[in-house]
Amino acid sequence: MNLIIMGAPGSGKGTQAALICKAHSLPHISTGDLLRKNIADGTELGKQAKAYMDAGKLVPDTLVIALLRNRIEQADCKNGFLLDGFPRNKAQADELGKITEIDAAINLETDLNKLADRMASRRVCLKCGYTTSVQDAPDGKCKVCGDSLVIRDDDKREVVENRLKVYAENTAPLVEYYKAAGKLKNIDGMQSIEDVNKAIEAAIK
């Protein structure tokens, strides 16, 4: 079972990806992690990617696809995988289709305004990593270690709204792409973690 998971920042995509992978013994392939691992391991493709990144340029699709091809040819992917963070646009989806068959594209549908509110209210403890919301910690103190809670830079309202805008612009064509291919599984991502997971399991059975 070769799966893609799509969802806006803050939609719970990472949480759901972990649950799906555990339930079906699938490797979770994040292109960001894949790039970092190849760079750390000093592979030939990693060196090429690093040269682009050091120059402040985007790593070209052809290079990312080559990294993905190498990864999905590994033994742990023989029964399938879950792709997270790729493809990001139609051109990448076309290239991906040339190297592997995708069985389903899971799309976590969310209300972007509510998502922006949720992310902007998120608070994190830098000391122990505890995460909560401003509503659940009105005193601004961590319930675990008592340290002060802060808002991360990427959770600030203007940053969140820009990230969601970019996501919506880039991902809307992908939703149509996989819908046309009969592979799209739309899931209401505003439900509880458990209900979202149940809906995903029912959709991919």
The predicted pLDDT at position 35 comes to 92
Domain count, the chain: 1
pLDDT at residue 166 in the model: 86
CA–CA gap between residue 49 and residue 168 (Å, rounded): 26
Q: What is the pLDDT of residue 154?
A: 83
Asked if the structure places residue 168 within a domain, the reply is yes
- Within a domain: 95: yes
pLDDT recorded at residue 57: 87
Query: Does 70 fall in a domain?
Result: no
Kindly state whether residue 175 falls inside one of the protein's structural domains: yes
What CATH number is attached to the domain comprising 197? 3.40.50.300
Q: What residues in the chain have per-residue pLDDT under 50? A: none
Evaluate whether residue 48 is within a structural domain: no
Instruction: Report yes or no on 123 lying in a domain.
Output: no
Task: Report yes or no on 32 lying in a domain.
Answer: no
pTM of the model: 0.83
Domain membership of residue 21 as a residue range: 2-26+79-111+164-204
Q: How far apart are CA 64 and CA 69, in angstroms?
A: 9
Task: Output the pLDDT for position 76.
Answer: 96
Angle subtended by helix axes 44-54 and 31-41, to nearest 10: 110
Please give the positions annotated as active site: 13, 88, 122, 152, 163
Question: Would you give the distance in Å from CA 91 to the centre of its chain?
Answer: 18
Alpha-carbon distance of 183 to 188, in angstroms, equals: 16
